[in-house]
Amino acid sequence: MNISILLVYGEGGHHDQAMRLMRQMQAIDPKIEFIHVTDTVTMKADSIEKIYTVTPIRHKNASFNPFSFASAYLKAVALTVTLVHQYKPKAVIGFGPGICIPVFMVCKLLNVKKRIFFEDWCRFTSKSLSGKACSPFSTKFFVQNESLKELYRDAEFAGRL
Amino acid sequence: MPNLQGASKRKRILVITGTTGFDSLVRNIDENRELEGGFDITLQTGDGAYKPRYKSFFDFDKGLKNRLSEYDFFITHAGAGTIFMLLEQKMRVLVVPNTERADKHQIELAQYVKSNNLCAVCQNVSDVAMAITEIDRTTQNLQPYEKVEFNAVRDLLRYIYE
């Protein structure tokens, strides 16, 4: 039986990293089914079949709004519950930003056993919010700049995507 | 009569501002008419609100990676996706970190490329015109980008399957 993997990412660099890893994994095992959960519509043209779009948890140019935060968070929780039941993913892989937080929490609660987080490749000397929040829910954590290993004790560095 | 030979020798520059856009950078470059004498500048505006009036522009281009050879230099916000892609393609890059964003993390990458001499860096948008006039010199002796390729894909698959 083919396995499913949840791939969670936002726009820009988050999306680029996710696509790089996905292509590398597909080159080795073309049968993996990737279920995309994203808060961006900028890559609609990538001819991805199973893609689910959610509202960004925290908009990058807006100040923090607790009401829209709670609403976006709950929608992401509901979507993740549905996806985990529907596809029974073997793993979830997150690349930030905030959208990863509810998805990782739900995946842990629903016993998705492999939860892998990639800290943003633009981080050299500080943690991202999603990296900080997802690390307790992760079973494997990669940093992409060696200097970050000082901040994340259990993280692995295995090169940059 | 315009100097046609001079015009054809103008250095071609693409300004990349990613998905978010970077209005002050785009406006600053667009409104500087003196640059047009020496440079043929195209602006990628993303979701930015400012629409250029004097220079050619587009908002997004999915196939951009295949058209990099049409330009001599690149000016970009400090977005990692753009910078790493340009460095992998061995392009000459001037970075202007976007400090207008709510998140300030572009500073870290700008510091990294600066201290490793991978790109020229202009810290302030208001200085960008000056930085463009010097772009040929400041991007001449940069170090090649030596990337440690991600080498754990097989391990990761094994881990997921186990």
The nearest CA of chain A is from the CA of B10 a distance in Å of: 31
The nearest CA of chain A is from the CA of B152 a distance in Å of: 6
Q: Residue A59 has what pLDDT?
A: 64
Over the stretch B24-81, which tens digit does the pLDDT of each residue have? 999 999 999 999 999 999 999 999 999 999 999 999 998 899 999 999 999 999 999 9
**A125 and B108: CB-CB below 8 Å?**
yes
**A45 and B62: CB-CB below 8 Å?**
yes
Question: At A92, phi and psi to the nearest 5?
Answer: -125, 135
pTM of the model: 0.90
* Band of pLDDT at residue B102, cut at 50, 70 and 90: low
Over the stretch A62-100, which tens digit does the pLDDT of each residue have? 667 788 888 889 999 999 999 999 999 999 999 999 999
The domain B4-161 is placed in CATH, from the list 3.40.50.2000, 3.30.70.2190, 3.40.1160.10, 3.90.850.10, at 3.40.50.2000
Q: Residue A68 has what pLDDT?
A: 82
Residue A6: closest C-alpha in chain B: B160
Residue A89: closest C-alpha in chain B: B160
Over the stretch B111-135, which tens digit does the pLDDT of each residue have? 999 999 999 999 999 999 999 999 9
Mean pLDDT, chain A, integer: 91
pLDDT, average across residues A131-145 = 97
* Band of pLDDT at residue A128, cut at 50, 70 and 90: very high
**B149 and A40: CB-CB below 8 Å?**
no
**B159 and A123: CB-CB below 8 Å?**
no
Residue A143: closest C-alpha in chain B: B150
The answer to whether B60 touches B39, Cβ cutoff 8 Å, is no
Q: What ipTM does this complex have? A: 0.92
The answer to whether B29 touches B56, Cβ cutoff 8 Å, is no
**Would you list the domain boundaries of chain B?**
4-161
pLDDT, average across residues B6-25 = 88
Residues of A in contact with B103 (CB under 8 A): 60
